[in-house]
Every structure is written in C-alpha cells, then in structure tokens.
Amino acid sequence: MADDKKLTTRAADFSAWYNEVVLRAELADYSPVRGCMVIRPNGYGIWERMQRTLDDMFKATGHQNAYFPLLIPQSYLAKEAEHVEGFAPEVAVVTHGGGKKLDEPLIIRPTSETIIYSMFAKWVQSYRDLPLLINQWANVVRWEMRTRLFLRTLEFLWQEGHTAHTTHDEAEEEARRMLGVYSDFMEGHMAMPVITGLKSNSERFAGALRTYSCEAMMQDNKALQAGTSHNLGQNFAKAFDLKFQAEHGGIEHAWNTSWGVSTRLIGGLVMTHADDNGLRTPPLLAPIELVIVPIYKTDDERAQMLEAADRVVEMLHDWERREPGRLRVHVDTRDGMKPGAKYYEWELRGVPLRMELGPRDLAKNEAVLVRRDTREKRPVSLNAIGEEVNELLMRIQDDMLIAARERREANSVRHTISYGDFKELMEGKGGFVYAGWCGGAECEAQIKEETKATIRVLPDEEFRSAEAPANCLKCGRPSTAEAVWARAY
C-alpha cells in the first residue's frame, strides 16, 4: 500500500505528479522490460469496468467479438503502402522461432487491419454477407522511444473494431456512429468531456480515407487523443482482394472502417480528475464505490463496529435488490492502522465515497459520508442509507463531468487571437484555441514546428464557434475551416 509521503503537486511538476498518482494509487508499475508496464488490480479494475460498458455498447450497435492472431506475416503489412510507411518505425519483428530463422519474418501486431481484412476476404462473397461488424479485445505492440505509464507504452491493451460495408456512405455512417459511442462513454462514464471532429490529413490514420477523433483537455491544458474512428475507404479491400458480388450483379470492393480505444483512457481519467491528494475515480468506473471505515478503540468496540458495518452492507444489498447494478462496497477491517491513515490511503486510491462509522455515530443511528471529489462530509441516517449513498454517487458522477467541462471551457480561446499571442499562450499555460485555418499543409507544419501545437480536430458543428473565424491563424489568408489547436500527449 501507499506510504504517507505527500504527492508532488500538479502546479510544481505535472509530469511527476502524474507518475506518482499512477504508482501510489496502485494503478500500474514498471515492468523489467523498458517501456512496458504491469497493470495492478486497482488499475485493471477500472479497465474491466470500461471494457464491460463499451462491450455492451458495441453489441447494442450490432457488433460481435472475435479474436485474430498476434503475429502477422511481414508481407501483409507491406501490401498497403501508406499503412506500412506509417507504422514502420514502431514495428517489432520476429525473425527466429523454435531455434531457427523463419522463412518470412512475423510482425507483432501494432494494429490488425492487414490480418483482419485478409480473413474478411475469405468470408465475404456476396452483398448478403455485409455488413460485417467485428470487434476484438487484444494487446498490441508499438516500439515507442519515449514512454509513459498508460499514455504511451510498448505494449498496451485495447479494442479494435473492424467492419466491411457495401458502400462508402454505409462505412461513413459506421465511422461516425462509433465516434458517437466513444463520446457517449467518455462523457457518461468517465465524466471526461470531449470534442469530436475530423483530423487533418497530416494527422489521419495511415491508410485511412478520413479519421475522426475524440479530444479531451487534461488539467495541464494539453490535449489527449482519447479515441479514433476511421473511414478506411477501399484501400485495404483492394490490397487484400476483399470483394463481393453486388446486388446488381457486378463485383465490387468492400468499404472498411476501424476504430479503437485503449488503456490510455486510464491515463486520461487520471489527468482529468485526480488532485494533489491522489486519484479521483468517477463512480461508474470505480472498482470500489464505497469504502466503510469502522472506528473503534477497544476490542469490544471493534467487534461492535464490525458487526454494525456488516449490517450496513446488508442494508445496502437489500436496497440494491430493488435498484440492481450499483454499490460495490468494501469494509476496511485492517487492525493496527489508525482511521486517519486509512482515510489517506482510500483518498489516494480514488474511492468516490467513504463512510465513517463509529460508536457515537451508531448511537445516533447515523454514519458520516465523505465525498472524494469535494471532500465534503455529511451525517446521514442509517434508515435511508441505500438512497443516500446512491443519490450521492450519482451526484458525484454528474459533478465531476460538470467540473471538467467548466475547466475546459475556462481554458479555451474562441475569440480572435494573433499568431504572436497564440505562440505565447502555447509556451505558457496552453489550452484549446479555436482559430481559422486556410487548409494549407505548409501553415499547419510551420505552426507545429514553431509552437509544438497541432490541429487536434476540425470540430463537429456542435463544438464550433458561434461565428466562424475569417482568417488563417498563421498566414492570414481566408479561412476554409475552423481548427482546434493545442499541444498534445
């Protein structure tokens, strides 16, 4: 368990603070392999909650789970030129197996488009076989040079959806639908507000026709690309001969999409919600929603309070039978540890709600509930403990989203800004800047080189400024699109 040394503050060193929260909240630890991590039970518990929720959302939109091999023939990756160029620097290659040199090297999957569409080509013959809607939960390997726990590691866990359709419009609708699924999950479950929109050509996925993204603002005002959805066009279908007999009788290439989110979301959760006291977890994703800390001094009081805590758990379970699907409860029964030390530890680990239960509380038929997000305390009657706990958890979930959204908007610039002021902002506190863009790759590249800021998205209509910017942020020529600029992870 964590020690009692105070965390580095966000203001003092955001990067150090982040690493300390991840390690001391027992989300993950460094592995013996450089750039890899071990996901600990507290972190994996969050991932499990994410996985279950997203899996249900995927299945509700007609997708089925499958699994494809970790190892991909090198020749497959080479079939789609833009794709192989995009991933070449990150690829890990297996050249020997069983003590012998392989006839053909094998790629450890950095993503699975090539192996999946080669299989789709075997399975699809007619328009009646489409759409084909597949998702897989898997691990991937990308040989990153600069790594950080959850945000960028050599190996990480993710899901990747892959679909095949008869027309471009069907594929486009699918890509947009799944972007909406991600956005709904991030806001509704992670309490992490996102901006959705189209990536510029320089930022799109290698081999895609178009890439859409969910972009979130972290507490240091940098952007995090939290999830992407790609309309792949027919590029991979042509590379892997994925054809079907059309309804009118001709032979056509399928239209594909792919979309994915990863354990990077846990890093996004930390950087969106954690504070200088440790992790803060939205209740819907918390492995433990409520921790009960019995307070006692003597052996007799200990027995009395543990019995009372068990009764409270039973009361919560009785209530849960009327309102199923809630209340993951843990009773902290550890001896030899003062209540204050337990409070500190559970705060650090991010449990949304703490119940303090002592002899004086019990005499009044009460307990004290403490919110992790605001640290507000309030006494509640044990007669209505189920309703009180449930109501407070729902309020915490809502309030965390509201606070994150207000922070994002407070650090977003929507008014006209000069390029000089933009550069100063990016060198300083950062933030999201909504500004005009002429559509030129040269302006985009120059801004990136001079400020390290990139176009995060060309925002969807609901996120655009009320008045479209007239001129390009860099060159001053007429704007062809509004772009959201920021430094990013």
pTM of this prediction?
0.95
Same domain for 183 and 305, yes or no, is no
The answer to whether residue 455 is domain-embedded is: yes
Q: 143 CB contacts (<8 Å, ≥6 apart)?
A: 89, 90, 91, 92, 154
Residue 143 to residue 89: CA distance in whole angstroms: 7
Structural domain includes residue 139: yes
**Confidence tier at 1 by pLDDT (50, 70, 90):** very low
Q: Which two tokens stand for residue 124?
A: 């699809």
Residues 132 and 217 grouped into a single domain: yes
pLDDT in tens, 267-308: 999 999 999 999 999 999 999 999 999 999 999 999 999 999
Same domain, 402 and 443: no
Please determine, for residue 321, whether its predicted confidence score (pLDDT) is greater than 80: no
**293 and 192 in one domain?**
no
- Give the CA angle between residues 422, 224, 149 to the nearest 5°: 130
Secondary structure E strands in 208-254: 210-217, 223-233, 243-245, 251-253
- Residue in this structure with the two tokens 């309703």, named with its chain if needed: 387
What SS3 state is found at 172? helix
**CA gyration radius, the chain:** 25
**Domain edge (last residue) among 222, 238, 273:** 273
With left for phi above 0 and alpha for psi between -120 and 50, is residue 251 left, alpha or beta? beta
Q: Which of 376, 407, 438 is the last residue of a domain?
A: 407
Is residue 278 in some structural domain? no
For residues 85 and 349, what is the distance between their CA atoms, to the nearest angstrom?
A: 41
Tell me the pLDDT of the chain averaged across its residues: 95
Residue 301 lies in a domain: yes
Query: Is 3 among the domain residues?
Result: no
Of 407, 424, 453, the last residue of a domain is: 407
Q: Are residues 198 and 67 in the same domain?
A: yes
Q: Does 181 reside within a domain?
A: yes
Tell me whether residue 8 is in a domain: no
119 & 215 share domain: yes
Identify the residue whose tokens are 């449930």: 390
Domain range for 468 is: 412-486
Question: How many structural domains compose the chain?
Answer: 3
Question: What distance in Å separates the CA atoms of residue 220 and residue 87, rounded to the nearest whole number?
Answer: 29
Does 142 reside within a domain? yes
Could you tell me if 133 and 245 lie in one domain? yes
**Same domain for 268 and 215:** yes
**Is residue 436 within 8 Å of residue 471, measured between CB atoms?**
yes
Assign residue 347 the CATH number of its domain. 3.40.50.800
128 and 186 co-located in one domain: yes
Show the tokens assigned to 121. Answer: 């080509």
User: Could you read off the pLDDT of 91-136 as tens digits, one per residue?
Assistant: 999 999 999 999 999 999 999 999 999 999 999 999 999 999 999 9
| Mean pLDDT in residue range 3-7 | 78
Do 390 and 300 belong to one domain?
A: yes
Domain match, 474 and 393 both: no
Distance of CA 464 to the CA centre of its chain: 23
Give the model's pLDDT for residue 326: 63
CATH number, position 462? 3.30.110.30
Max intra-chain CA distance, the chain: 84
Q: Are residues 151 and 246 in the same domain?
A: yes
The pLDDT, as a whole number, for residue 322 is: 64
Which of helix, strand or coil describes residue 473? coil
